Structure 1
Amino acid sequence: MIKLFSNPLAIDQSTQKATALNLLSIKRPHMRGFLFAWLSFFIAFFGWFSIAPLITTIRKDLKLTNDDVNNSNIISVSSTILFRITAGLLCDRLGPRRVMFTILVLGSIPVGLSGLAHDATSLMIVRFFVGILGSAFVPCQFWTMQMFDKNAVGTANAFAGGWGNMGAGITTMVMPLLFDGVATNLEDHVAWRVTMVIPAAIIFFIAILNLLITDDCPQGKWEQHEKPVEVHEVDEKKSAVYNGNQSDADNRQVSPKPGLGAYLRAIKNPNVLVLIAMYACCFGVELAVDNAIATFFHDHFNLNQTTAGLIGSIFGTMNFFSRPTGGLFSDLLYSKFEIRGRLALQFVILFLEGLFLIVFNYSVNSGLGTAIVILVLFSYFTQAGCGTTYGIIPFVDPPIVGTVSGLVGAGGNVGGLVFATVFKIYAGPRTPYAFLVIGATVMSVSFLTFLLRVNGRMLVELKR
């Protein structure tokens, strides 16, 4: 049974990683690292998607076409692909804390300066550099992988990722409200520009806290992560003591720092390629929908900017429990059926995600209420799929887990780019059809689960 409120926190003595969570604690190093992993990710996503909820006002002010808006959405997602790939290797070499700090500081600058945009081109340039914030996901997941052992890592990853992803939903709700407050004293032309300074300041503040009051791993700073661990009590299942020469990679705190060859090693692994495609079909869908959903409800149901933002925020705020439950169920099935339990859940979640995306295409013709209900359902499975995917990643190639995490995370952005293009192709009255196309794609990719071989096991193994 996965414990979410373990007190005192259960620690595996051979790895110094936590085997449970205590969601009510912020004690160093494990739960403090968990807190800042998701909080930093949350505020990064808040900043990354802060322009989208105000796009109705910005579109009018900058005289943008629908193509301009869709192109800026695509650019904001595409730039993060490079940043995520780079962040993965940097985490392996420098640790999560400094990588997260750097991402937040660099990302806060274009967010704060986004008010300088005066036409479509300048808006696209701004959104390109704001995209660096999307790479905060990589140190977030890497951080929890350092703090939590294999039986709890799926849950930890999913809670941190889900609560962090929720920033995209909260910004859809909050930014229009902040704009309304600022606009009471300023013209819209100025108000949206001033509003953008608020998330920039918060991002910078959280970045400083990362550097000052957190740890990279149970041993403290990243430079200590390979330091031998003195073991006084050894689990019966882990009779070997880690003294710096432990051969069992599963018990080692972390492997030697990988170089650029880690990318080639990861890309040659078929499991990594399949997981990239799968993450493209859950997180990639989430990115595309986060950018499009408020505008869709505004245009399709003739709602005002604030109301459309509040309804659209349902999609992102579902992350509070949807992605965490994906990771939690993944860990529970792992405890009963080992890796095949994680794989079975992966297939079911992705298949149902695709199914409800297809249903959403038809639900919008039945009224706003029906559309919201189906939105909730496909939102749950989309985000739970992110949790189940990262429940598998720590088992694929542990010595280069940061690089694998970064590549799979970048795959999510590739998916976001592809699906944002689908929304561009089916813009305007045909937007519901985009959900049908995306849903059919996700359902097809779900069957790739049967190609995964992790820890020597497959979901379905044919007897010879």
Structure 2
Amino acid sequence: MIKLFDKPSKELSVNPDDQKATEINLIQGKRPYMRAFHFSWLSFNIAFTGWFAIAPLLPYIKEYLKLTPEQAEDGNIVNVASAVFFRFLVGPLCDRFGPKRVMALLLILGSIPVGLSALVRTPVGLIVVRFFIGILGATFVPCQFWTTQMFGKNIVGSANAIVGGWGNMGAGITTIFLALIAAGFNSAGLSSSLSWRVSLVIPAVLCFTVGLCDYFFTDDCPQGDWLKRDLSPKQTAEIHIANNEKKPNTDDANKVVTDTDSEKNVPAPTVPKRDLKTFLLALKDPNVILLMIMYSCCFGVELAVDGALTLFFYEHKKFNLSKKDAGLIASLFGLMNLFSRATGGFLSDFANEKMGIRGRLLVQFIIFFLEGLFLFIFPYTLNSLAEAIVILILFSYFTQAGCGTSFGIVPFVNPELMGVISGLVGGGGSIGGAVFAAVFKKFPASSTPFTILGIVVMVVSFTSFLLKIEGRRLLEFRKK
């Protein structure tokens, strides 16, 4: 259950078996559940301000560095492709050290190349710094891992989709605000060169600050610290009280403290080792490979389009848009994440309630097929800016909803390898982003990439019928 306007002080319902929350209260920020929920999406959102900071500033940067269209696209490809390596690496790190530490580390490290990008003076320097900025793209893995640790099976699809969607919305926010900020600095008297350089300092500071907050003010899991996640429910209750700075005032609460005090010498659980064998074990599962391919066709499409859309609208001759207006229209694509990815998760959870895991698979197929269809239609609307914007919004919705339905399935593949699988599937998205960005490079300032992407996504949508989750497929043929 998702509560929008419930009392912030009201405790969430919790499953006594695994201590995970079975509901979401969006206006609550208490530890551990909703604090982790809000910091997971906020961290991913802020990561996007650094990861995609350069894309909306490309009209300024391209002019100053005299970038060719190929060099501009090379930067986009490198920025997305480098996230593949970092995402694969981060999955096992989440399994071993917990999501909050990994999230904090990624944001703090990622803030460094974002800040240094303001000093770039050559096309090669821009490409190099964009490679290291790609570390921020790995924040998606702890974002999804975090909420999977906090919320139960009945609501995990919605939780993952909301935090992923609100995080992805950072791409749209970055596109619109950095374009406006650079234009504002330029109007205030700064040169075009200095305007984009000063603008890049803002996301660097934001990433560093939120990374520190992740480490000091959040919890990894219901039990608090990652190394204490196997504690008993009574021990967990005491941690909840301590984290929220409340003293127990009932006999039961006092009993919790007393019982826990007697268990202080319980040794911490051992942390399972994650190595190459774990990766290979996960990759042996056909479901993991299929979900990597599918995620490449939703999040990968999103990454490629986010990187190309501003220049596409700016350089389209029939539209004749200014740099600022091109950025504003392109921002619609990312801003749809306010609700699009979340509704994918809602639909996945709802279908699961009605049909079980087969419901999740059915929603996956429908969303992906419609995404491909509207991508394919988009080039036929480019004679009218209004029509192009409408279809842009439609394929944006289904692209991002597909991300939500995909991670509505991921937690059920193999819960014991959740971090590794999240990293692999997330890495699949980055691989798709790099491949599709190369398509945009091959056809600069052309609508052809949208046609190609549309066909690919419609074909891939049928792989939903090959997924076998918890022993069930979308279509099952029983022997007589």
Q: Same fold (TM over 0.5)?
A: yes
Q: Is the 8 A contact 1:103 1:132 kept in 2?
A: yes
How far off is 1:228 after superposition?
3.3
| Distance in 2 separating the partners of 1:10 and 1:350 | 33
Q: Is the 8 A contact 1:112 1:200 kept in 2?
A: yes
How far off is 1:185 after superposition?
2.8
How far off is 1:3 after superposition?
4.7
Q: Deviation string for 1:137-192 (max 9, x for gaps)? A: 00000000000001100000000000000000100000011112222231111111
Q: Deviation string for 1:246-294 (max 9, x for gaps)? A: xxxxxxx998453332100110000000000000000000000000111
Alignment-derived partner of residue 219 in structure 2:
215
Alignment-derived partner of residue 150 in structure 1:
153
Query: Which of residues 268, 271, 275 in structure 1 aligns to 2:287?
Result: 271
Alignment-derived partner of residue 441 in structure 1:
456
Q: Is the 8 A contact 2:48 2:137 kept in 1?
A: yes
Q: Is the 8 A contact 1:2 1:332 kept in 2?
A: no
Relative to structure 1, is the Cα distance of residues 455 and 5 closer, same or farther in structure 2, using a 3 angstrom cutoff? farther
Count of paired positions = 442
**SS, match of residue 41 in structure 1:** helix
Correspondence 1:203 to 2:207: yes
- Aligned AA for 1:311? I
Query: Which of residues 415, 422, 427 in structure 2 aligns to 1:398?
Result: 415
Alignment-derived partner of residue 253 in structure 2:
none
Alignment-derived partner of residue 287 in structure 1:
303
Q: Is the 8 A contact 1:275 1:389 kept in 2?
A: yes
Alignment-derived partner of residue 323 in structure 1:
341
How far off is 1:8 after superposition?
3.1
Correspondence 1:261 to 2:277: yes
| Distance in 1 separating the partners of 2:119 and 2:138 | 24
- Aligned AA for 1:392? I
- Aligned AA for 1:119? T
Correspondence 1:50 to 2:68: no
Correspondence 1:92 to 2:95: yes
- Aligned AA for 1:131? G
Alignment-derived partner of residue 411 in structure 1:
428
Q: Is the 8 A contact 1:45 1:133 kept in 2?
A: yes
- Aligned AA for 1:89? P
Alignment-derived partner of residue 373 in structure 1:
390
- Aligned AA for 1:209? C
Correspondence 1:354 to 2:372: yes
Q: Is the 8 A contact 2:5 2:26 kept in 1?
A: yes
| Distance in 2 separating the partners of 1:260 and 1:88 | 12
| Distance in 2 separating the partners of 1:96 and 1:260 | 20
Q: Is the 8 A contact 1:225 1:254 kept in 2?
A: no
Alignment-derived partner of residue 461 in structure 1:
476
| Distance in 2 separating the partners of 1:113 and 1:198 | 12
| Distance in 2 separating the partners of 1:61 and 1:254 | 54
- Aligned AA for 1:290? D
Larger displacement relative to structure 2 (181-190 or 89-98): 181-190
TM-score, normalising length: structure 1: 0.93
| Distance in 2 separating the partners of 1:432 and 1:31 | 42
**SS, match of residue 458 in structure 1:** coil
Higher Cα Rg: structure 1 or 2?
2
Relative to structure 1, is the Cα distance of residues 255 and 229 closer, same or farther in structure 2, using a 3 angstrom cutoff? farther
How far off is 1:212 after superposition?
0.7
Show structure 2 runs of 5+ residues with no match. Answer: 237-268
- The Cα RMSD (Å) is 1.7
Identity %: 55
| Distance in 1 separating the partners of 2:295 and 2:131 | 22
Q: Is the 8 A contact 1:54 1:305 kept in 2?
A: no
